[in-house]
Amino acid sequence: MKVFQHSFTYGFGTREASTLNVSIRNGIVFLFSILWMIGNVAEAEPLRFIVSSGSPTVIKFESKASLESFAGGTDQLVGWFSFDTDNFGSSIDGELVADMTSFRTGIPVRDNHMRENHLEVGTYPISVFKPKGLKPGAPPRITGGESVSFTLLGDFTIHGVTKQVEAEVQATLQPDRRSIDVWAAINIPLADFSIPRPEFLFMRVGEVQKVQTKFIATKN
């Protein structure tokens, strides 16, 4: 700051020049503080991610009963979600939609019966999950390159019925924060969603179905 002091001593006394230099210095500090705050506000904006259907997206379920077990799934899941990395616990939002008409188990007769007589996809062609918050104990923030586990609370709609469910989630935000890898699992009691439980020979299923999904969401 010696250059400023020298140039401003002309026409001013030493004390006045010193005061003016301090004011200039404070002004510069204030300007940089404002720029830093603006940068932090921009950084704190929620990250928004898009989930697209097709590989590597997958939803799968495994039905276990006393006499037989079988699995099924689909890759038809789309939607979005967002969160603030520094306020993770209370900022999550979004919507995930699965195409119920696309589920397959490997046996066409069983697929048709499941879709037409139990899931009734002609009337209820989609299921929807909307996150509502996290259970206590979830991480307060998430950073790039970090993997976190938590229990996600949300409203799940299937077969025309909406109930709050808990999803166990593992998520890894990539270091560049442009994508996030997600694995999640929920248990679906069929009776809670008014889904009749099939019990004929080739399709006996358990009362509770465990549904898992895995996908890579990309930044919008």
In terms of domains, do 110 and 196 share one?
A: yes
Q: Higher pLDDT residue, 65 or 102?
A: 102
pLDDT band at 196 (very low <50, low <70, confident <90, very high): confident
Alpha-carbon span 20 to 22, nearest angstrom: 5
pLDDT tens digit sequence for 98-143: 999 999 999 998 899 889 988 999 999 999 999 999 999 899 999 9
Bridge-based pairing state of the strands 69-74 and 58-64: antiparallel
In terms of domains, do 19 and 110 share one?
A: no
- Count: domains in the chain: 2
Alpha-carbon span 68 to 64, nearest angstrom: 6
In terms of domains, do 104 and 6 share one?
A: no
Q: Quickly list H helices, 55-143.
A: 88-91, 108-113
In terms of domains, do 96 and 144 share one?
A: yes
In terms of domains, do 193 and 205 share one?
A: yes
In terms of domains, do 53 and 34 share one?
A: no
In terms of domains, do 23 and 85 share one?
A: no
* Enclosing domain of residue 160: 46-219
pTM of this prediction exceeds 0.85: no
In terms of domains, do 165 and 121 share one?
A: yes
CATH of the domain at 183: 2.40.128.110
